[in-house]
Chains A and B, each alone.
Chain A
């Protein structure tokens, strides 16, 4: 008889036996040990048919192809930029993937992206050795000027964005801020006033703190409503 020992959406800890029997299959964050399925991560149990996944609640960003991320330009060579995307190693953005412009031989790369600048970019390739390639060739990818960046746990970014972008739209509407959420846990915010930016920041931190409660959208809406009044005063 196969049996699930932990309810769906409940917290599991590393090493915890989450299911008995052969009817369940280990997905991400789980492994088989004899007749049992065991969790290898701190996270929430999630079922997908017979496959048991553990959705992490913490942890560093692990780059995946096609992720849109926010990066800091750290360094450059003759033909590429090195960008911190929150992984152990810097990612690289080559000249041909950075711009459609014709760049003359020997011109300075800092005319395009200078060290210290912030870019919204996409991961075009990840090798098993941890080499990451970036591209700027997709709609919306660009340099992010001004504003601030809030760091949150990368696994919570989907909640900040919400279904079809509902949550992030709510925050944008109520605060009037421009917001980009990178899959790597960095959220860029720029608004018309420091107060508006602080309100958007607080809303995002509220989502991070309560990311796995239900009724989160209502809670955030109420929070924004209440404080948006204060800003107007």
Chain B
């Protein structure tokens, strides 16, 4: 089915407006909020601390443990039942994997670093917003990272390749394909990729290219947010 104009008037390769703020949870050693359109994610980092049970410990480095959760009122329909479910567990796992290639926790052998991601309001693209927030929180926490991580969903709405699908696009009656990706902005490498739907090889390639380009814009927003918290210290 044809999708000739986006519901909110955006260009096909355009992200929704973004906002990022670092240091939003004072108790955490690092934290951030990332908003894209109406999707709002908060991430906070705690640790490194003792990891139990012991068999989970890694002898040379700390383990990264992510915890993705939607607040009960943050869904688009009925209340989301509190507690973990298969979806949130899987997302937590793929988020961990998205950071694995860049995060170096070898200063903290056997320990665990916890990243908590909470969604306050959702309009699709929640895991990507969560990764963007978590990336800022981990940088804020002062850990060694080879790069930040940027994430966005790309895909197909009807017959059209787009980036940053909102909920109305995911639910498009002519069908939609959702491809969340996480990108390392310096190298362009991809650390998370999932796909839900049916797409041709050509469209997939085009979607990934557009997603990577969008991630550069997300990267700029992330950098600005970190500088907004720490930048003023370099002046004078």
Binding site for B on A (CB under 8 A): 9-11, 13-15, 17, 29, 31, 38, 40-44, 56-60, 62, 87-89, 128-130, 153, 155, 210-215
Contacts and interface: CB of A to CB of B under 8 A. Distances in A.
Contacts of B175: none
Chain B interface residue count: which class? 35 or more
A14 B146 contact: yes
Query: Which of A31, A58, A59, A88 has its CB near the most chain B CB atoms (within 10 A)?
Result: A88
Contacts of A14: 102, 139, 144-148
B193 to A, nearest CB: 20
6 closest A-B pairs by beta carbon, nearest first, are A59-B142, A15-B147, A88-B111, A58-B142, A14-B145, A88-B48
Contact of A31 (B111, B146, B231): B146
Given A57-B142, A212-B234, A11 B147 contact: no
Interface stretch (B78-86, B118-126, B154-162, B222-230): B222-230
B223 A13 contact: yes
A60 B29 contact: yes
A212 B226 CA distance: 16
B236 interface: yes
Contacts of B185: 15
Interface of B: 29-30, 47-50, 59, 62, 102, 104, 107-111, 139-148, 184-186, 223, 226-227, 230-231, 233-236
Contacts of B230: 11, 42, 57-58
B234 A59 contact: no
Contact of B233 (A38, A129, A213, A215): A213
B110 A15 contact: no
Contact of B145 (A15, A57, A87): A15
A211 B29 CA distance: 18
A155 B184 CA distance: 27
A31 B145 CA distance: 11
B202 to A, nearest CB: 31
A129 B234 contact: no
Contact of A41 (B102, B145, B227): B145
B165 to A, nearest CB: 27
B107 A62 contact: yes
Contacts of B186: 15, 17, 38
A9 B59 contact: no
